[in-house]
Every structure is written in structure tokens, then in C-alpha cells.
Amino acid sequence: MRVIGTKAHGVLDYLMGALLIAAPWIFNFDRGGAETWIPVILGASAILYSLFTDYEMGASRQISMRTHLGLDLMSGILLAASPWLFGFADYVYTPHLVLGLLEIGASLLTKRHPVNERHSHHRTAAMH
């Protein structure tokens, strides 16, 4: 069941992107290796592709919401698995795992079409 609207998801995208970029310093795991740079890169990427997503919070609207949610899902899986994939789980894993699982959850619970898009299609069809 998809219960998160696309506008709310958009707000979460920018907040999560900023949190991922800042996470190594907030949670004190900024050693300069994969543990640091994976969340920074994924956070910056999330902000970038959010700017190009076709939803209320997108600036250019070049990427479909379905594609965006797929990117979120892959990013969440990579983030959650990264401590074990890249061998830093003995040093830190909780922020990567928790934020990755949140990203996975948001991707699976978000509606695939903006509400405004559905309404505009119905209005346009009714006018013709």
C-alpha cells in the first residue's frame, strides 16, 4: 500500500539527502573512507535526481516518479549493505543500515504519480 504522497516524498528526499551528506560528521564516522563517502555521494545524488524528478518538488521534471523510486530503492539497498560490502561494519554500521532501510521503506510506500498530475489529466480530458 502506497501511503506517502509525492510532495511529502519530495520533502523527505531533500531532507534525507542533506542528512546523508552531513551524517559522517553528525554521527562521528568521518574517517575519510567508504564509510564517509558512500552516504555523502548517495545524499548528493538523491538531491540531484530529485531536482530532475517529475513531481511537485522537482525543478526540471526529466525523470519519472517510477524511475526516481527505483533509484531510491537501489540507493537504500546499497547504503544499508555498504558496511558489509565495503568492510567497515566493525567500525560503524548503524547509521548506514537505519538510513538505508528508511530509504527502502520510503521508496516502497510512496505513490507513483503526483496528485496534481492525475487531476490535470482528468480536467484536460474533460475539457476536450
- Assign 27 a pLDDT band (cuts: 50, 70, 90): very high
Q: Can you give the residue ranges of every domain in the chain?
A: 6-122
120 pLDDT more than 70: no
* Exposure letters 72-90 (e unless 16+ CB within 10 A, then b): bbebbebbbebbeeeebbe
Per-residue model confidence as pLDDT tens digits over 38-82: 999 999 999 999 999 999 999 999 999 999 999 999 999 999 999
Which of the residue ranges 23-32, 50-59, 78-87, 109-118 would you say has the lowest mean pLDDT?
Answer: 109-118
Q: How far, in Å, CA of 35 to CA of 42, rounded?
A: 12
What does pTM read for this prediction?
0.89
